[in-house]
Amino acid sequence: MSGRKTNVGRRDRIARTLLTPVALGAIVWLYTSVPQSSTTLAAMGGLGLLVFIFVTSALTGTCGIYAALGINTCRQCEADYGGGNIWG
């Protein structure tokens, strides 16, 4: 993880990890229960993108959207772990 600072805190990472199966369940529900239309497919694609963002940011501890907006939910990470990639 060179070049990027950890900006996703422990609670945020846990929340993203717990929300991932919820979003995946919504994709499956849309696919199986709702008639297929362009709106449904767009919703499934949007949820798929959200799942991708949740998983990658939970695993790496960095979020590009947070970096662009200047948000840092991991205020203690750099002090406690030296900016490492440990769940902090």
pLDDT in tens, 48-83: 999 999 999 889 888 888 888 888 888 766 555 555
Residue showing tokens 């902090």: 88
Question: What local confidence, expressed as pLDDT, does residue 79 receive?
Answer: 59
CB 85 within 8 A of CB 61: yes
Residue extents of the structural domains in the chain: 10-80
- The yes-or-no verdict on residue 88 having pLDDT over 50 is no
What is the separation of C-alpha 64 from the centre of its chain, rounded to a whole number of angstroms?
Answer: 10
Q: Quick one: tokens of 24?
A: 């995946």
Please report the pLDDT score of residue 1 as a whole number: 45
Per-residue pLDDT band at 86 (split at 50, 70, 90): low
Positive or negative: CA dihedral 31, 49, 55, 12:
negative
User: With contact defined as beta carbons under 8 Å apart, do 58 and 8 qualify?
Assistant: yes
What distance in Å separates the CA atoms of residue 85 and residue 21, rounded to the nearest whole number?
23
- This prediction has a pTM of 0.74
The pLDDT of residue 65: 86
